[in-house]
Chain A
Amino acid sequence: MNCFVEGCGLALALSFCLVPANAEDLGDTWGTAKREREYYRIVQLAIPEGLVIEAGAFHRLPDNRMAIGTRRGDIYIVDGVDGEKPEPVFELFATGLDEIFGLEYKDGSFYVTQSCELTRITDTDGDGEADRFDTLSAEWGYENYHEYAFGSKFDEQGNIHIALGLSQSYNSRALFRGWALTVTPEGKTVPIASGMRSPAGIGPNEHGALFYMESQGPWNSACSLKAVSPGSFHGHPVSLNWYEFAPELGPAPVQPKSGSRILIEKDRVPELVPYAVIFPYIRMGRSISGFTVDRSGGRFGPFEGQMFLGDFSLSVVLRATTEKVNGVWQGACYPFREGLSTGILNIQFTPEGRLLTGGTNRGWPVRGIKPFALERLEWTGKMPFEIKRLSVTPTGFHVDFTKAVDVTTASDPGSYVLGTFTHIYHAGYGGPEVDQTRPVVESVTLSEDGLRATLVLDKLTLGHVHEFDLGAVRARDGEALLHRHAFYTLNAIPEAR
């Protein structure tokens, strides 16, 4: 979540906090909603009158009901989200918790990440209401405004990872603010990574590696996906003060220099992890939040095994793919669906392979006009013509499409308009796109099935976002791309084999 209200202390946070009159504009829409609906429908899940469900976390239960954790601190168990004409039934399981941004379930208990702690919540007498709340970890400071906590699902080892936002979104005044912690199955809490600013989601990428979603702000000119590993530093140096409390990670990384470029600083600061996927600001979201991976077995369309991400400000859902090149994570992002009704805080697939979205629109600028909503995105079964995936080669990119391309337009290098840019890596809030280049597409080779174009470029620029505009490419049936743009963040170039 992105914050533009600076420096609210506890007192102000508890008092009435007015939004300034010069509230921000949200920029233009993609303008694709009217075409998107042919392929992906948005279905409202009616919330009974009187209930306020500002979803912050979802979980699919073993019995195929969905659990929803809310900003207001409730956990609802919901039946019927997949109905053809849905009439979901909401049962309140637990209430009175503190902003839920992480929800998991195992052996009859929920594992709930609240702002204050990770809690195991159980209904021990089987009456349908939680009655036992065991604190598993409260090993982090929680003393200031804007100190949100986002929790992952269990990883393969049974760990839950928790990403902690900075104090007031700019400082690190309480223990481990701006860090990620791991809570092990034995209940031990281990600090693993520093340098986060305002994380808004944490979990595995499509290859099972741990990632978190960072918001635009200081040291981050755009939202980005970043790979988290023990000892990793994520670029915002204000949280380096807590290394003495994490002796297992050794000494603190050296301070990065403001006004530099991320890959230049990476040479100086070995722990610094470059942004794996940059989401160009406004064009590709403003406050990207929860993410999940499509494991629907094709029921959600052609993007099985890819990441989907919600955006709070623009009320959109985005798509991303990642790959590891020379030991460094990088990848691409793609527009997916706009026109949701509220600010999206989290998303999750339903048992039937629909994408459940939810959130709220209070507190920050949001395009969706509903104070809160639950909506289901579902594939209509009609194949969209989309850039399915970008992947890097030693000399350029593979562009995979969801439908076979038309040979004339797709084999013309002029149909692939590329540009690159990077950001200044600096302490200022956000920042412009700089150092633009215009790579020339020297050749295009189409695969026999027409699903892949292989581009050879005159130059690949490390540390740059490579943006693609494929507006001129047509499918064999003459259809234009549903979304013509895609953005690949290049941190490493594979060796030629």
Chain B
Amino acid sequence: MLILPAPRAVILCLGLQLLFWLCLAPQVEAQAVVPGLAGDHALSEAQVGELLIVELRCAACHEGISASAATVPPAPRLDEASWRISPEYLKAFILDPAGSHPGAKMPDVLARFDPRVREDAAAAIPAYLSVLAKQQGAGPGSVFEREPVDAARVARGRKLFHAVGCIACHALSGNSPSVNAAGELPDSAGAAVGLGHVASKYSLASLSDFLFQPLRVRPAGRMPDMGLSRVEAEDVANYLLAEVSMTEDSDPVDLELAELGGALLQKLSCVSCHDLQGLSAPAPVTKGRNLDPTGGCLSEDSKKTPRYQMSAAQRAALRAALVAEPEEVSDAARIDQTLTSFNCIACHVRGEHGGVSLELAPYFGTSEPELGDAARIPPPLTLAGAKLNLEWMQRVLFDGEKVRPFMDTRMPQFGEANLAHLPALFESVDHLDPLVPLGFDGDEERRAARDGARKLLGTTGLACVACHNFNGKETVGFKGIDLVTSHERLKFSWFKRFVVDPQEYRPGVVMPESWSGGIAAHTEILGGDTDKQISAIWDYLSLGRSARDPQGLSSVSQELVVGDRTRTYRGRSQIAGFRGIAVGYPGGLSYAFDANNGTLSGIWRGRFVSARWDGQGAGGFNPSSRPIRLAQDLSFYKLKGPDDPWPLKPVMDEENPVNPDPQYPRNRGYRFRGYHLDQARTPTFMYSFGKLDVTDKCEPILEGERPVLRRSLSITASDPETIWFRALTGEVQALGPRAFKTGELELRLERAGEHRLPFGETVLRSFGEEDPQLELLIQLIIPRGTSKWRIDYELLR
């Protein structure tokens, strides 16, 4: 039972559109739509007939009918039909495929029966499928359910539909807001796979699921995977279902009816095409090609066979194929047939045929319009097998590999099972006399070749990188195909010919002739020898990541930016040693902590840090603004007395590169214990000195005239202990008993809340022999329990 709750205006609109098509649209002969056949294909009439034998799955019943011995494309899976397809639609479609979906390839299998039988059959088959789906627990839901669409998603889906390539096979929606009722433009009606039936057939969930993974339900790949993400598939589904919303009741499943349905699926030979678990296909009705070319399925009103939607031309083509002497199908013809079956020719030129039609061309977009049509129109397949490595063709066809991120149209995935033969066919048919790159022997010659190639590629040479990315890095100009992919994709024989004469091998491409007529423009590089230059470039591109970047690439910023929370970043650094930690606060104050030695080793204001992640870079950091450098030696130590020297970190140099005190400072009692983050992601460092546990947290005070880093320290002791804290080094002056300064900062020791300051003596003494400096040492008399205090570091610059 169909209920139409759609607004009256919509219904009126749909009605008017239908009326329009009924009255005004040219009368299009009913036929099974194979979109490639309406395009600019290379097939003769008999070859069209052969293709129809495959596309209409004739060999499913007529064994040996196909001259090319092509396998029968697998028909859509029906085991999930009961949740994927509206029960009303399913019934209507079984009763009248052509009426429900003009252009459908499925024949009317009930045409020969009287209306009562037809009605029963059309009810019984869905009942069977419904029971089957329940048994298998198939699909996200076992019941077909409609949901309302979302207007924002409709708009996104509409954009995707027109951009990614759906329009190549499906009628274009033109300026009409809907394709549902009027899926076809007058001049392309019959050529395209209409979508007028989609709104009544699918729910949002089932259409989204189908568009996300079409090959799961229709393994034949004629509806390819367009590389839509799940979200994109939902968007397109919203668009395609935008104008119709319906609810319907499904009848309770009648088990007896279901049983009848199973029997009918076998009796009507449905299972010859549709694979259904537990139902075996009947034996083939005929063998060989000696069929009556006017009777059976080829007659328009057969009383014995299923009835196909076929135009007179299609019938003629089939007859032509059947009467033709069977002959070996050439590899070239197999390519033509494949490219037509899968409608590759809607987007790709091959030789004299195929290519994007004038009407559709405006819908092929790009993010790099300056690179011309080559950036928006899919590449020609002329000489594809001579151009591309077999493995690369496989990766593009079957693994979704792509090198043209700027192109809006997506290369569809048709399924490896369906096109596994194609790369080898291209390779066997397409031929260019082989060219071999020159070799470069010996270190000197090789170095010269690589230097030459680098110059040629860069902006002071041929400036290839003005329009091509390189090694994953963007150029400052146009972002064309990454040159480093060349070696993996291309054959040298094609590459060399192409760069010498781009227009011959890629008509219309925006690519200069750098060796016009085979003569090198840059005579100063590699002696101006064309062969040497092109071979050197080829060799250079084979180096991949280990090739140095040519001049002219933009450098990637590896600046770490602090957002609205504190950022903590670990890595080697000259300001904090190998176990360095940088902490940056929102507002632009940062400090470095040397976790190896337990020392606050630098403070700066301004930008945070840059990290080294290129080359072998292990992610070491450098402050992005000039830091105030503090000592990197251990901060806490139990001096034996005021004359005991502070244990300095070991120094390695070229003459003594091995660490002379390799356990420093762990052998002085220090252990780093880690850190924890608060809600603002500000770290509190934890470390221990002997039996004392220290926590150490800094926070920025940015209100005053000069920024202050406020450091809160706490020490927990199980037994009273006296140790020393080295608070500051350099040109230290005392401003008071608890305040000190250097040229760059002022340091103040403060109470933390009610805690008593644990300070004993303060010693300002010199250290170091060659370049004596002062060090400020503070004696800490730590009682049992937790002692806390604060240090403010006020930045003077």
- A-side residues, CB < 8 A to B, are 3, 5, 10-11, 13-14, 16-19, 21-26, 33-34, 37, 41-44, 52, 71-73, 84-85, 87, 95-99, 114-117, 119-120, 124, 130-135, 138-139, 141-144, 146-148, 171-175, 241-242, 245, 339, 361-371
Contact = CB atoms under 8 A, between A and B. Distances in A.
Contacts of A98: 570-572, 618-619
Contacts of B579: 116-117, 138, 142
A369 B546 CA distance: 10
A96 B570 contact: yes
Enumerate the 5 nearest inter-chain pairs by beta-carbon distance, A residue then B residue, closest first.
A23-B546, A363-B616, A175-B662, A365-B546, A371-B472
Interface of B: 212-213, 216, 225, 229-230, 390-391, 394-395, 398-401, 416, 443, 446-447, 450-451, 454, 471-472, 482, 484-485, 488, 542-548, 567-574, 577-579, 595-596, 611-620, 622, 652, 657-659, 662-663, 666, 671-678, 681, 686
B385 to A, nearest CB: 14
B545 A143 contact: no
Contacts, number: 195
A96 B615 contact: no
Contacts of B666: 139
Given A41-B399, A98-B572, A241-B658, 5 more contacts: A22-B450, A99-B619, A132-B677, A142-B579, A369-B484
Given A10-B574, A21-B451, A362 B615 contact: yes
A19 B546 contact: yes
B590 to A, nearest CB: 13
A132 B686 CA distance: 11
A44 B413 CA distance: 14
B491 to A, nearest CB: 15
B543 A365 contact: yes
Contacts of A368: 544
Contacts of B677: 130-132
26 contacts: A5-B616, A10-B574, A13-B572, A14-B572, A21-B548, A22-B450, A23-B546, A24-B546, A26-B544, A33-B391, A37-B394, A37-B416, A44-B401, A73-B619, A95-B569, A133-B674, A135-B671, A135-B674, A138-B579, A138-B672, A142-B578, A144-B578, A173-B659, A339-B391, A364-B546, A369-B482
A14 B570 contact: no
A82 to B, nearest CB: 14
B400 A44 contact: yes
B78 to A, nearest CB: 19
B612 A362 contact: no
Contacts of B216: 84
Contact of A18 (B394, B548, B652, B658): B548
Nearest to A375: B399
Contacts of B662: 141, 174-175, 242, 245
Nearest to A366: B545
A124 B676 CA distance: 10
A361 B662 CA distance: 34
Contacts of A146: 616
Given A117-B672, A173-B658, A85 B225 contact: yes
A73 B673 contact: no
Given A13-B620, A34-B394, A85 B595 contact: no
A73 B571 contact: yes
Contacts of A172: 658
A134 B674 contact: yes
B633 to A, nearest CB: 15
A300 B472 CA distance: 32
A356 to B, nearest CB: 16
Contacts of B542: 25
A21 B454 contact: yes
A396 to B, nearest CB: 37
A172 B662 CA distance: 11
A14 B615 CA distance: 11
Given A19-B548, A369-B484, A37 B398 contact: yes
B570 A114 contact: yes
Nearest to A175: B662
Contacts of B613: 52, 71-72, 362
Nearest to B573: A14
A142 B571 contact: no
A135 B598 CA distance: 13
Nearest to A136: B674
A25 B577 CA distance: 35
Contact of A115 (B416, B569, B617, B618): B618
Contacts of B652: 143, 173
Given A19-B548, A98-B571, A171-B657, A142 B596 contact: yes
Most B C-beta atoms less than 10 A away, residue of A44, A85, A132, A174:
A85
Nearest to A54: B613
Nearest to A37: B394
A42 B615 CA distance: 26
B617 A141 contact: no
Nearest to B577: A143
Contacts of B401: 44
A22 B212 contact: no
Contacts of A134: 673-674, 686
B399 A175 contact: no
A117 B571 CA distance: 11
B295 to A, nearest CB: 42
Nearest to B405: A49
